[in-house]
Structure 1
Amino acid sequence: MVTINSYEDYKTHEGKELGVSDWHAISQQQINIFADATLDHQWIHVDKEKAEREGPFKSTIAHGYLTLSLIPYLWKQIADVRNVKMEINYGIENLRFGQPVLVDDEVQLKAKVKSIINLRGTVKAIIQATLAIRGKAKPAYVGDVVFLYHFND
């Protein structure tokens, strides 16, 4: 894990791979809980029997937005950004889903610092986030996650 205490610390990582998270298994229970939270109960996610019988993947799959919602959890395993008054999830840019995450797949976040900009005291970090799937060459997604940080003086 990388510890970052300031804009200057962050800047030293610009253009570099920052690290990878631990592997995280996507269970059917997690998919079902996400479906309940988002009211998205499409059968490809929650109906195991129908997905095995009729689905293109012969398995249920995680919601794309479920895999995106793991970014804060997995990011905290890569970077410990300290000395901040506030951290804001500002957005995701240029995101593309490469392939679905099947139930019981394990995923891992890889992070590269694309750019760090100091905007008059607000630090804008653009992190290239790649969600790898164990045993598969193609990632679940690649996109640029944008964080805003207000570091303590």
Structure 2
Amino acid sequence: MRIFRDFDEIKAAAGTEVGVSDWIEVTQERIDQFARATGDDQWIHVDVERAKRELPTGTTIAHGLLTLSFAPVFVRSVMHLDGVTNTLNYGADRIRYLAPVPTGSRLRGRITIAAAEDAPRNGLRVTYGVTIEIENHERPACVAELIAVHYR
């Protein structure tokens, strides 16, 4: 884990890779819980028997937004910013889903700091480059530019 002691250190790291997280397994239980929480119960996510018959993967696939929702876990697992009292999700500039995530896959996040700039009220707005990789697959599941504002 990379520790940043202050906002200046994170600003100096703009344009660099911070790290690569550990793997997280995408289970059918996680997919089902996400479907219940969001109301997105499309059969490609929750109907195991139909997916066996009709999907090229032979299994259900994770929701794109479920895949993206792992990003905060990935970021927190590879870095820490000292002195932060809270962090707010500011949004995203780009999100692309490049490959389906079959149930049972393992994902990890490759995190970069794309940009960092001072924000009002003693904050720092950081744009994180997040590449969510699928174990043993060439194409990533998702690439995104996610923006957070950290406050001290």
TM-score bucket (shorter structure): over 0.9
TM (normalized to structure 2)? 0.95
8 Å Cα contact 2:94-2:146 kept in structure 1: no
- Equivalent in the alignment of 1:79: 79
Find the residue that maps to 1:77 and give its secondary structure: helix
CA distance in 2 between counterparts of 1:17 and 1:112 reads: 4
CA distance in 1 between counterparts of 2:48 and 2:111 reads: 32
Identity across matched positions, percent: 32
Find the residue that maps to 1:84 and give its secondary structure: coil
Gaps (5+ residues) in structure 1?
none
Deviation of the 1:57 alpha carbon: 2.5
- Equivalent in the alignment of 1:95: 95
Instruction: Tell me if 1:136 matches 2:142.
Output: no
8 Å Cα contact 2:133-2:139 kept in structure 1: yes
CA distance in 2 between counterparts of 1:150 and 1:122 reads: 4
Deviation of the 1:5 alpha carbon: 2.8
CA distance in 2 between counterparts of 1:28 and 1:109 reads: 20
How much is the aligned-residue C-alpha RMSD, in angstroms? 1.1
- Equivalent in the alignment of 1:105: 105
What CA deviation, in whole Å up to 9, does each residue of 1:1-30 have, x standing for no partner?
A: 111232112122111000011001100111
- Equivalent in the alignment of 2:128: 127
* Equivalences, count: 151
What CA deviation, in whole Å up to 9, does each residue of 1:77-121 have, x standing for no partner?
A: 011122112211111211111011110000000011111111342
Output the amino acid matched with 1:24: I
CA distance in 1 between counterparts of 2:93 and 2:119 reads: 19
Gaps (5+ residues) in structure 2?
none
Output the amino acid matched with 2:2: V
Deviation of the 1:48 alpha carbon: 0.7
Deviation of the 1:44 alpha carbon: 0.5
List aligned pairs for 1:1-153, cutoff 5 A. Answer: 1-120=1-120, 121-151=122-152
Output the amino acid matched with 1:112: T
Deviation of the 1:75 alpha carbon: 1.3
Output the amino acid matched with 2:74: L
TM (normalized to structure 1)? 0.94
